[in-house]
Amino acid sequence: MILLEQVADALRPWVGEPLLAACPQLCTEIQRRLQLYVMGRDDPEGLRSGLEGLIRATVRKVTEETWLVRLPDGSLVRMESEDFPIIADELMYILFDQYPIDARHLMWLRDFSLRASSLSAIRILYTKYADYASADELNALARVARSCHPAFRWRAWLKEEEPAEPEEAK
């Protein structure tokens, strides 16, 4: 079950509390879309794209096209086009985190992380599915995360430095 608070927590650092308070239906609609998604039936790219469009349209409307939002630290910032795909991917993490840890979901997440360049899928694979990956696979996931995504997105769950290569058995 996806909670409204999970959605709000994912959005708050990006759009701030004032915007969330001005349009509580945004969290409700995102929650509804995430809960209705069925892996294998629905297109994950369609979901992510739909979330991106919903957030973009809401921010445009609420800010009266200024794109200015007040962040939790009190600063006023202008949202950029490249923010919206990142926010949508962060919301996908909420969905992926609900998946059971099994072979079907593992294979699906591996495929999606490669096809869609989804850091949220990489994060789930690296954190929840680590027991099903070799050290080389985990190192590859870490390299992709570090080289393809800004550090602020992975710093909380991935160490700054790449782990040492495993020692070969003698």
By percentage, how much of the chain surpasses pLDDT 70? 94
State residue 149's pLDDT score.
87
Torsion region of 5: left, alpha or beta (phi above 0 gives left; psi -120 to 50 gives alpha): alpha
Asked if residue 165 has pLDDT above 80, the reply is no
Largest CA distance in the chain: 66
With 80 as the cut, is the pLDDT of residue 74 above it?
A: yes
- pTM, to two decimals: 0.87
Residue of 126, 131, 155 lying closest to 142 (CA atoms): 126
Q: Give the pLDDT of residue 150.
A: 86
φ, ψ (nearest 5 deg) of residue 69: -130, 150
Q: Record the tokens describing residue 57, joined without a space.
A: 């349209």
Calculate mean pLDDT across residues 32-50. 96
Q: How confident is the model at residue 170 (pLDDT cuts 50, 70, 90)?
A: very low
Torsion over CA: 123, 125, 131, 134 (sign): negative
